[in-house]
Amino acid sequence: MLSMQDISDMYAMAIGDSMPDNITPRQFFKKLYVRDETISNGALRPDAIVTEAPAIEAMFANVRSFQDIVSITLPSVSALRSDTLGPDFWNGGISMFARRLWQSGNSIQDLARGKRAGAQAVVLRLVVAGASGLRTPMTFVLLYDDIDNRWRLEAIWLNNVGPDPKGKLLAQNPAMYVF
């Protein structure tokens, strides 16, 4: 779970100013969302998902901790398709990571407890087209919460892109191999 200092640091890094003491979760999200939505003419604002193979990959895995989730999302460890776009495309040496800032009542450890294999997770890799037309690789991890009987989003990685201090992408085509 992220500490308040972690959240405050994340806010300061993204917005360029200290996080107000009385900010609500709704205001926090809106500030960060609006900032990210405007980077490079909406390059990071999802507009469409590329559906041609091999732009979509998926796999099931069992996890016991968040570190397990990090491990199973590494494309060099788990090629999900025989015709994969490869680790240089899916990661390429730079990733921005987003994790839920809220916590459900059931931790990964709670969901894995008593299960020989651990909690069930899905890794989903997609090529997402932004509003600007730029296509970028994203990795989503969903976790099955069998206590609440639902799938929940656990983590998102936006790969091969990174913002510079002026609010633009590091390169016009940040992906090493744009699909």
Percent of the chain past pLDDT 70, that is, above it, reads 73
**pLDDT for 14 beyond 80:** no
Q: Quick one: pLDDT at residue 143?
A: 92
Residue 108 DSSP SS3: helix
Measured CA to CA, the distance from residue 53 to residue 27 in angstroms comes to 38
Q: What is the largest CA-CA distance in the chain?
A: 50
Is 0.75 surpassed by the pTM of this model? no
How confident is the prediction for the chain on average, in pLDDT?
Answer: 76
